[in-house]
Every structure is written in structure tokens, then in C-alpha cells.
Amino acid sequence: MSSKVVLITGASSGIGEATARLLASQGATVALAARRIDELKQIAADIQAKGGKASAHHVDVTDQAQVDRLVSNVVAQHGRLDVMVNNAGLMAIAPLTLRKTEEWDRMIDINIKGLLYGVAAALPVFEQQQFGHFVNIASIVGLKVFSPGGTVYSGTKFAVRAISEGLRHEVGGNIRTTVISPGAIDTDLKFGSGDKDSRDFVVDFYKMAIPADAIAQAIAYAIAQPASVDVNEIVIRPTVQDF
């Protein structure tokens, strides 16, 4: 782990933050990326104060040019990029009948296009190096549609799994691809809906949630495997979650 440079989107809280802190504690150089730069700088400073190596980078993953610059800046600063963790996401749960099309667009832009922009930016680097690792955060609802209310969100996470599997087929070999599908994890994701009734339902559902560190541990496991081992998919949920 000590030789790896890991770029993590959505790193200002939740799974991204937990992953950055864990990997840095194991010796990796972590590049934290998100829109909330003040939070990123504080997390990076905390990591550095403990002897870790971290940098903070402002990015909106829905802007392809920003994602391209992000990857270029990380490579310029750290000399390489070993792992791209596409973690930024939005979960706006609400019934289709409410026709919250702006939230649909936002989920598509962040969860699907944002991930694709990350792939498009990092893939040429990985191809030139002849090695690299994509870690894409999907969801348990990418395995089974969460209904009512989660239809569009589930659609975006089914897409993450399909894109990741296609990516593995197209660029496998020295470039590894891992999909992590979390269940109920204690993050800010549960507050994503603009519909109060739906948001209250999700918050109540997430009372069973387990810490974000559970996902960070899974990411660390996948990254730490020998180059000949490609951990393609991990599903993690609370033991009490039956969905």
C-alpha cells in the first residue's frame, strides 16, 4: 500500500473520507477530491498531522473538464496514479409519481456520467503506465430495485455495475476493476431526497446502518491484493438488513 497513489472522489465525508483516512494510515498517498474544499483541506491536514500523505482537490464530477484537470493535477503532483475510486454519488429517493426530474438528472449526472468522466480521465494514465485499478461504488440497489421511491437511483447503480463489468472486459489484464455494493451505511447519502416524506423514510430505514469504515476496509482489501488478483465485486450490508 505504501507505494500507491489513490484518488478518491466524494472524499469530503462518508465512505470517501473513511477510505482516505484508512488508506493513508496504511501508507498510501491519498488525493481527496470533492466540491467542499474546506472539508477536504481539514481532512488532508488531519491525515498529514498523523504522518500520512494527502492532498485536497476541488472538483465537480459532473464537469468533464474539471475531472480531466483533477487527474492531470494528481499525476503532476504525485508522479503517478495507481487507483481511481469513483465514489461521488447522490441518492434522491422519491416516488416516480412526484416527477422530480431535476433530481433524476442530478443522479444521472453524478452517479453515471461522473463515474464515466473519472474512467475517461484515468484510463489513458493507466494505459500508459500499463497498470491501474478502478474502484467503483455501486449499491445493494444495483442488485435489486429499491421500491417504492428508489427506481431512478437503482437505475443509476445498475448502470455502475454494467459499466464496470464492461470496463473489465475491455481493458482487463493489468488494469483491475472492482465494484463495491454497500447496503445501509452511515453517511450523508440518506439525506439526498428533496421530498420530506421519502427522506424521513430513508433516515428511519438507515437506523440499522453500519459505519463507513466497513466499506473503507473492503476497498483496502481489494487494492492490497497482488497484481495477479482482480477482486471484481464485493457486497456489504448490515447483518440485520434483509434487502
Is 153 among the residues known to form the active site? yes
Out of 117, 153, 206, 221, which one is annotated catalytic? Answer: 153
CA distance 126 to 82: 8
The amino acid occupying position 140 is I
Strand pairing of 175-182 and 233-236? parallel
Show contacts of 34-43: CB within 8 Å, 24+ apart: 34/9, 34/10, 34/58, 34/59, 34/88, 35/59, 35/60, 36/12, 39/12, 39/13, 40/11, 40/12, 43/11, 43/12, 43/17
- Among 154, 94, 161, 98, smallest CA distance to 134 is for 161
- Among 67, 1, 48, 66, smallest CA distance to 28 is for 1
- Among 26, 21, 23, smallest CA distance to 40 is for 21
Catalytic residue numbers, as ranges: 153
